């Protein structure tokens, strides 16, 4: 069984991409087969996994808008995960797809095509762009669950309602089974009570589960992308790597519990 998660928040800089790379590496360490999909035209995920988008001829853009076979685009990375990479061309996908019938289903179709071609994944993690446009809606349409990375600052809740409205529409029109798995506190400064308070307020206001543990703010994260590896490889025993490993274990538990129930 494959579990597909959209890591979404239309706010930039909340650690969506970092969470996708780190959780992907953590799940792979646990022995799971993982596919990461870069759906952001900025291609930060692709870059952070050691692949220069400028060197790529084929990318997720060609699959989504031109019907290319996704098996021709999947790459293996040093972090033990597979990647459907992005390039800046993906910036055109929003416009290209806007007038296309079935645009909400292009990501789902891509994942189904991979399964039909015999590629098995336990996890597909979708790194969403910082908007609520066509690509994010297509990711939510393909997903079993959505995880919302959130920096616990005073104003960080302003976008959450809008994101949840989009999730509600997706549930209604394109993906009845989409579940909100919860918010993942990122860039968390545990030294202050402020972050905790903001987190509790958001969780109560929107009736959202909190995925534990919070990911601490640490300078180590700044160094990982330049190395082309996730923080799990560059700072194996850092607090941040440890937190992502624990989150990965909890995500697996959730799938296991769901399978039983």
| Interface residue list for ligand ADP (CB under 6 A) | 12-18, 44, 130, 186-187, 215, 217-218, 221-222, 240
Q: Which is nearer to ligand ADP, 217 or 229 (CB)?
A: 217
Q: Which is nearer to Mg ion, 16 or 103 (CB)?
A: 16
Contact between residue 104 and residue 141 where contact means Cβ atoms under 8 Å apart: yes
Closest CA to 79 of 232, 193, 247: 232
In the bound complex, what is the minimum distance in angstroms from residue 130's beta carbon to ligand ADP?
6
User: Partners of 182 in the beta sheet?
Assistant: 147
In this structure, the number of other CB atoms found within 10 A of the CB of residue 135 comes to: 26
Q: Which is nearer to ligand ADP, 71 or 162 (CB)?
A: 162
In the bound complex, what is the minimum distance in angstroms from residue 104's beta carbon to ligand ADP?
22
Contact between residue 216 and residue 20 where contact means Cβ atoms under 8 Å apart: no
Closest CA to 142 of 211, 251, 39, 58: 39
Q: Residue with CB nearest Mg ion?
A: 17
Question: What are the start-end ranges of the H helices in the chain?
Answer: 16-29, 44-48, 60-66, 93-98, 106-116, 134-142, 160-173, 193-205, 220-227, 231-234, 239-260
163-169 LR contacts (CB < 8 Å, sep 24+): 163/8, 163/9, 163/10, 163/132, 164/206, 166/132, 166/136, 166/137, 166/140, 167/140
Residues that bind Mg ion (rule: CB under 5 A) add up to a total of: 4
In the bound complex, what is the minimum distance in angstroms from residue 99's beta carbon to ligand ADP?
28
Instruction: List the one residue from 4, 10, 17, 151 that touches Mg ion (CB under 5 A).
Output: 17
Instruction: List the one residue from 11, 16, 62, 217 that touches Mg ion (CB under 5 A).
Output: 16
Quick note: the x/- pattern for Mg ion over 33-52, rule CB under 5 A, is -------x---x--------
> How many whole angstroms separate alpha carbon 230 and alpha carbon 21?
6
Of the ranges 32-40, 90-98, 202-210, 237-245, which one interacts with Mg ion (CB under 5 A)? 32-40
Q: Which is nearer to ligand ADP, 203 or 218 (CB)?
A: 218
Q: Who contacts 213 (Cβ-Cβ below 8 Å, separation ≥6)?
A: 243, 246, 247
Among ligand ADP, Mg ion, none, the one that 217 touches (CB under a kind-dependent 5 to 8 A) is: ligand ADP
Q: Which is nearer to ligand ADP, 81 or 114 (CB)?
A: 81
Among ligand ADP, Mg ion, none, the one that 136 touches (CB under a kind-dependent 5 to 8 A) is: none
Q: What does the binding site for Mg ion look like in residue numbers (CB under 5 A)?
A: 16-17, 40, 44
């Amino acid at each position: 069984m494959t579990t597909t998660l959209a890591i979404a928040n239309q706010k930039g800089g909340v650690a969506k991409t970092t969470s996708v790379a780190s959780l992907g590496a953590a799940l792979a360490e646990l022995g799971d087969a993982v596919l990461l999909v870069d759906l952001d035209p900025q291609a930060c995920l692709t870059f952070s996994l050691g692949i220069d988008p400028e060197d790529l001829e084929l990318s997720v853009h060609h699959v989504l808008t031109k019907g290319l076979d996704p098996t021709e685009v999947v790459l293996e990375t040093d972090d033990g995960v597979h990647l459907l990479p992005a390039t800046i061309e993906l910036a055109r996908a929003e416009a290209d797809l806007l007038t296309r019938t079935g645009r909400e289903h292009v990501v789902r179709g891509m994942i189904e095509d991979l399964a039909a071609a015999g590629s098995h994944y336990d996890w597909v993690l979708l790194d969403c762009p910082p908007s609520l446009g066509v690509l994010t809606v297509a990711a939510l349409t393909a997903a079993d669950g959505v995880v919302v990375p959130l920096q616990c600052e005073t104003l960080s809740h302003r976008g959450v309602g809008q994101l949840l409205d989009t999730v509600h529409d997706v549930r209604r029109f394109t993906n009845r089974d989409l579940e909100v798995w919860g918010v993942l506190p990122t860039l968390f400064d545990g030294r202050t009570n402020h972050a905790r308070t903001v987190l509790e307020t958001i969780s109560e206001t929107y009736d959202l589960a909190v995925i534990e543990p919070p990911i601490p703010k640490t300078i180590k994260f700044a160094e990982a992308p330049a190395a082309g590896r996730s923080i799990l490889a560059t700072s194996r025993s850092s607090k941040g790597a440890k937190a992502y490993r624990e989150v990965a274990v909890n995500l697996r538990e959730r799938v296991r519990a769901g399978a039983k129930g």
